[in-house]
Amino acid sequence: MKDKNYAITIFNARTIGVFFLLAFLAYGIGSQLFESTNNPEKYLGALLITANSVIVLFIGILLRKTLKLYNQLVANIYLFTRIFEAFALASIILTIFPKVNISGHLVYNLGMLVLGMGSIPMCLTLLKHRITTSWLAIWGAIGYAVFAFGFLMELFGKEWSLYLLAPGGLWEVTFGIWLLIREGKGFKRNQ
């Protein structure tokens, strides 16, 4: 008979935690610099946005390793979500070139909408299999649902995302810190 209390491992938890925090900073600072009319600042912003895209891609790859142990479909959805986000956000820097005609606002909204929708099943998997604490998984599922709704409304011309992105954004920071703190202590699961 198996022991009912055993440790859950989130593979590469500390690395994923650092990546969540770095992505938040890289895009936050990068997007501000990218809006500058000063070319060196604009190019530094583009570099940070690109770094964010690489980071979120690795978040998807690394977290997929844990998720696939519990639900292969959710693991693949989450990876696709992060790939889509990475390419959508990276495409924003193409607006540097005068002949490229894409809406940075539209691709950002689409990237965030897909991130929100694709992260809900990930958080529900964290909850169902008790991979994280219940409060953190529930917060993530609700936060990303609210987050996604805000960006969906942006596509219909309603400027709601600014008001509705906080629960999902703060969850990412909290989850990153939680992974850094909890990684060395292991995760206990009770069935």
Each domain of the chain, given as residue ranges in start order, spans 5-190
High-pLDDT (> 90) share of the chain, %:
74
What's the token pair of residue 184? Answer: 């060395």
- For residue 162, give Cα distances in angstroms to 65, 150, 168: 32, 8, 11
Per-residue exposure over 55-80, b if at least 16 CB sit within 10 Å of its own CB, e if not: bbbbbbebbbebbbeebeebbebbbe
User: What is the value of pTM for the model shown?
Assistant: 0.88
What's the token pair of residue 78? Answer: 């989450």
Q: What mean pLDDT is predicted for residues 3-13?
A: 63
Nearest to 13 by CA among 48, 56, 59, 51: 59
Each residue's pLDDT tens digit, 105-160: 899 999 999 999 999 999 999 999 999 999 999 999 999 999 999 999 999 999 88
pLDDT of 189 reads 46
- 3-class SS at 168? helix
